[in-house]
Structure 1
């Protein structure tokens, strides 16, 4: 008698599956970016942004004790940090949040540096910039508190947001 179907495996281990073994897994993608280098360059970029902001603040100061706070230079610190993190840091998920902190710190440092440069200018160099940070820091803090309002807070937020956005955009590209 001829059987229309092949013989089915008996009880026990099943037979071999068709097509053999599955192919091996692909290698994971190579790690992109150097987080340590990105953080180092980001800190340098934050300092450069702070110096730019302080210099613009000093340039806006007059001889009668007036000065102007600008929003764009405050965002420059965040932009520079975001560029450094995005280009050098790769896709590290923590870097955008570090960029927020460094962008805001850069703007605050720039504002304090601007106050110190203005004090140096208004005293005709009798109080140096370093001396303003060491001996006259209470005066810097008082000026900072006096100028701090919602607009300044928004200025800092723009700097942090710029750092976050650029890090995300350039890191994922």
Structure 2
């Protein structure tokens, strides 16, 4: 005896028509979330698992810039050239004015240190070398100034005095040297040391 077949239900006006189980799947016919069952599909995920990705990291200051690197040998050459040039200028100032000017000694030292630091970089030897070269440049500049003053008084050229009568020039320098003379040495050396430090930054 065959089982009676239930009459088919009309789909029109039936609110459950689209929700009948299909092949044992209770969810067949229902709209599935996009992304293969992932309820977070379509939402922006943190980049690489880092919740601060794309934003500024809290509590971390930017790293300070590295000291500028340079060429140590070229820094020495630049400092020597600057010492020779500034010594001549300093001597011309002394010879033209008849006075030792402190600002000129500062300029001598600072220019030497500037040249060394800009070209040679942050090598710790350069500030010390600049200070030593500044001492020599100030001394040579003072000798040139004494020779120029002696040239005006004797009628002999300053070049001749420096080459043929150097002992007379140094003797005249010793006689005229005083506290301010040696103070200018220290000023020039300090300016050279600090100038090289600042220029290397």
Q: CA deviation at 1:39?
A: 0.9
Larger-Rg structure: 2
Cα deviation digits, residues 37-78 of structure 1 (max 9, x gap): 111111111111111111111111xxxxxx222112122221
The answer for the alignment partner of 1:148 in structure 2 is 177
Q: Is the 8 A contact 1:85 1:99 kept in 2?
A: yes
Contact kept in structure 1, 2:111 and 2:195, CA below 8 Å: no
Q: Distance in 2 between matches of 1:30 and 1:141?
A: 42
Q: TM-score, normalised by structure 2?
A: 0.63
Distance 1:40 1:83 in 2: 13
Q: Does 1:104 align with 2:141?
A: no
- 1:9-55 per-residue CA deviation (whole Å, 9 max, x = no partner) reads xxxxxxxxxxxxxxxxxxxx898101111111111111111111111
1-side partners of 2:178 and 2:96: how far apart? 22
Q: Is the 8 A contact 1:75 1:107 kept in 2?
A: no
- Where does the alignment leave 5 or more consecutive residues of structure 2 unmatched? 1-65
Q: Does 1:56 align with 2:87?
A: no
Q: Which residue of 2 aligns with 1:32?
A: 69
Aligned mates of 2:73, 2:104 — CA distance in 1? 26
Q: Which has the higher contact order (CA 8 A, sep 6+)?
A: 1
Residues in 2 aligned to 1:30 and 1:150: alpha-carbon distance in whole angstroms:
38
Could you list the runs of 4 or more consecutive aligned residues of structure 1 that deviate by over 6 angstroms after TM superposition? Answer: none
Higher helix share: 1
Q: Name the structure 1 match of 2:147.
A: 116
What's the C-alpha RMSD, in Å, of the aligned pairs?
1.7
- Structure 2: distance between partners of 1:77 and 1:31: 24
Contact map agreement 1:99 1:160 (CA 8 A) in 2: yes
Distance change (3 Å), C-alpha of 1:33 and 1:118: same
Deviation at 1:119, TM superposition (A): 1.9
Structure 1: any 5+ residue segments left out of the alignment? 1-28, 61-66
Partner Cα separation in structure 1 for residue 86 and residue 72 of structure 2: 20
